[in-house]
Chain A
């Protein structure tokens, strides 16, 4: 059983960025093209073997894809969005493909946190990758109770989902304004000592204020973006495709928007003193290594891959290989060597 997830191994210096002087020095040394590259990243004290993480809701609990994907090769995997109580999810159509995109209205169907702990957690943790529990809820109390239950497990990290657009109660409602986002983050922060990523919604009118607010409330890292609110209409019936009318758009269609938002948040981080920065995980429509490198150059410490896995289960493995080849070609030895290049 690998133990890299234990709390005692958390490295508090991990967020420090290397100075640009060091970077330049390394480049001038002009190491041989065969020099080993280090894809590992450290986010809020948790060590990832590479920066490629399966996004919540697109990878089940790992086991679902185990025959098609080398799960052990991934940096991390996020669980399906979990709530305290089991949820049946939304009725009616749940998926609608659009040009280069996929609108979904799953509605957080999940077995509930207790069942997850009993049934899926052990298998999820058996993979040689970082498991992240994605936590959602409908009230602050249910978020807190869920966080308490997860705190007692071996799960190394929690991603707080305040951005699901597909449930009427809670979810995205918490992520839309800085005050409620801060409230839920503060409450969950008190309920768990696990490293806490807060997943932001692109639908927030003031994204940067929300990012700032959750950081001040104790977030150890941010991930963005969740799906963009969208809809489709069935023209034969003259009715919206989804029973909830609005749903969430993901897939390559949203990548440039996601990149722009990640860049904005990372720019905001860059303007802070080094000790006041927290890492950003970028996601939204990433489908190949070039997309992934763009997000890292926009300042992301890691990236998540979602819908691309549906279309191509090998996508994440290809992205990892692609980043490695790119780094060799560019003589980068660590992800930090090119992270945030496009912010300067």
Chain B
């Protein structure tokens, strides 16, 4: 019995590493796409990474920031935005998959990854987990949401001018990576983007938002403060958002759940947990939802906001 190969375990070569902040690095690696069925990651998916060699035992889950498809000579065959299109064709021949990750140096595992140099390599397992759906699909997928009910009601009423969903995308700290990558695959200025950092910014240079709101804890860029300084239940209502995507620290996601519930905004939140395997086998990354325990690595990392129990 032959199964479709979607996930794979490979060794990828480091082709670029940049220090973005004191403890934040961007790591670009290349891996050969060997199987036709091998998946190109979608926005919000992650890989398990470990530097070769490494002081640590286990791989670390890191979200994809950007992806490109190159030919053998390094020429771009598909840009990041191309790769995120639903209709993107399957891989025809052996191509090179270029992946970019943003990594926060937290412990020995991420430190080894951040200390890599061009030409060295990493262990790579993935792509893993679920992914962000585009705004139109996100709303139609969330059948229980108030926003969905309203849109359906509008359809029933035969409204000619169906408004596209009004989208807010929120990234906090290193959580900027998957949401920024996602935003860069959407139509320009089809969303507002909120980015919150401790100090300075990274990962948002190519975000083409209608409105970009930045907060920093130290006031070094944008508005001095944290996310609630620019985004509250009232602002969600005022700006008539119908859909919100976010990734960031747990307290930020809990806050977003709360204000989205209050404002009746559908939220898709990307969660983080320590992971052993990344495929749903070790049950180390169990999180609580209204539907019972779920594995962050397999059922997630992205969950419908109102289903999470913080």
Are the chains A and B members of one assembly? yes
Residues in A lying within 8 Å of B, measured CB to CB: 57-60, 64-68, 72, 80, 88-89, 93-97, 100-102, 104, 106, 109, 126, 251-252, 307, 309-314
Question: With A97-B56, A313-B9 in contact, is A88–B281 under 8 Å at CB?
Answer: no
Question: With A104-B276, A314-B9 in contact, is A89–B283 under 8 Å at CB?
Answer: yes
Q: How far is the CB of B266 from chain A (nearest CB, A)?
A: 28
Residue of B nearest to A314 (CB): B9
Q: Let me know if B286 and A109 touch, CB within 8 A.
A: yes
Number of A-B contacts (CB under 8 A): 93
Cα–Cα, bound, A117→B7 (Å)? 27
- Neighbouring B residues of A310 by C-beta, 8 Å: 58-59, 276-277, 281-282
Cα–Cα, bound, A310→B109 (Å)? 15
* Interface residue total, chain B, C-beta cutoff 8 A: 31
Cα–Cα, bound, A309→B59 (Å)? 11
Q: Let me know if A106 and B283 touch, CB within 8 A.
A: yes
Query: Does B50 count as interface, using CB distance less than 8 angstroms?
Result: yes
Give 17 pairs: A residue, B residue, CB < 8 Å, sorted on A: A57-B283, A64-B281, A66-B3, A68-B8, A68-B279, A72-B1, A89-B283, A89-B293, A94-B284, A94-B286, A102-B276, A104-B282, A106-B283, A252-B57, A307-B57, A310-B59, A310-B277
Interface centre among B9, B59, B277, B293 (most CB of A within 10 A): B277
A102 in complex: contacting residue of B9, B50, B58, B281, CB < 8 Å: B58
Q: Let me know if B281 and A58 touch, CB within 8 A.
A: yes
Cα–Cα, bound, A97→B123 (Å)? 18
Residue interface mask B279-308, A partner, CB < 8 A = 1: 111111110000011000010000000000
Cα–Cα, bound, A69→B160 (Å)? 52
Residues in B lying within 8 Å of A, measured CB to CB: 1, 3-9, 50, 56-59, 109, 123, 125, 274-277, 279-286, 292-293, 298
Interface centre among A60, A106, A313 (most CB of B within 10 A): A313
- Neighbouring A residues of B283 by C-beta, 8 Å: 57, 80, 89, 94, 106, 109
Known pairs A65-B277, A251-B57. 15 more at Cβ < 8 A? A59-B281, A60-B279, A64-B298, A65-B281, A67-B7, A67-B279, A72-B1, A80-B283, A93-B274, A94-B283, A104-B284, A309-B277, A309-B281, A311-B59, A312-B123
Cα–Cα, bound, A96→B280 (Å)? 17
B282 in complex: contacting residue of A72, A106, A252, CB < 8 Å: A106
Q: Let me know if A97 and B58 touch, CB within 8 A.
A: yes
- Neighbouring A residues of B6 by C-beta, 8 Å: 67
Interface centre among B125, B279, B280, B293 (most CB of A within 10 A): B279
- Neighbouring A residues of B58 by C-beta, 8 Å: 97, 102, 307, 310-311
- Neighbouring A residues of B8 by C-beta, 8 Å: 67-68
Cα–Cα, bound, A307→B275 (Å)? 12
- Neighbouring B residues of A64 by C-beta, 8 Å: 277, 279-281, 298
Cα–Cα, bound, A66→B2 (Å)? 10
Cα–Cα, bound, A58→B59 (Å)? 15
- Neighbouring B residues of A67 by C-beta, 8 Å: 3-8, 279
Residue of A nearest to B6 (CB): A67
- Neighbouring B residues of A126 by C-beta, 8 Å: 1
Q: Let me know if A68 and B282 touch, CB within 8 A.
A: no
Cα–Cα, bound, A93→B284 (Å)? 8
Cα–Cα, bound, A97→B50 (Å)? 14
Q: Let me know if A60 and B3 touch, CB within 8 A.
A: no
Q: Let me know if B276 and A95 touch, CB within 8 A.
A: yes
Q: Let me know if B276 and A312 touch, CB within 8 A.
A: no
Q: How far is the CB of B260 from chain A (nearest CB, A)?
A: 25
Residue of A nearest to B5 (CB): A67
Cα–Cα, bound, A94→B283 (Å)? 8
Q: Let me know if B57 and A101 touch, CB within 8 A.
A: yes
Cα–Cα, bound, A312→B277 (Å)? 9
Interface centre among B6, B8, B281 (most CB of A within 10 A): B281
Question: With A89-B283, A109-B283 in contact, is A68–B9 under 8 Å at CB?
Answer: yes
Q: How far is the CB of A126 from chain B (nearest CB, A)?
A: 8
Question: With A67-B7, A101-B57 in contact, is A95–B284 under 8 Å at CB?
Answer: yes
Cα–Cα, bound, A80→B125 (Å)? 22
Cα–Cα, bound, A224→B275 (Å)? 25
- Neighbouring A residues of B7 by C-beta, 8 Å: 67-68
Cα–Cα, bound, A80→B280 (Å)? 11
Q: Let me know if B282 and A95 touch, CB within 8 A.
A: yes
Q: How far is the CB of A308 from chain B (nearest CB, A)?
A: 9
Q: Let me know if A60 and B284 touch, CB within 8 A.
A: no
Cα–Cα, bound, A104→B285 (Å)? 11
Cα–Cα, bound, A65→B128 (Å)? 12
Q: How far is the CB of A96 from chain B (nearest CB, A)?
A: 8
Residue of B nearest to A71 (CB): B3
Cα–Cα, bound, A96→B285 (Å)? 11
Interface centre among A100, A251, A310 (most CB of B within 10 A): A310
Q: How far is the CB of A234 from chain B (nearest CB, A)?
A: 13
- Neighbouring A residues of B286 by C-beta, 8 Å: 89, 94, 109
Cα–Cα, bound, A101→B5 (Å)? 30
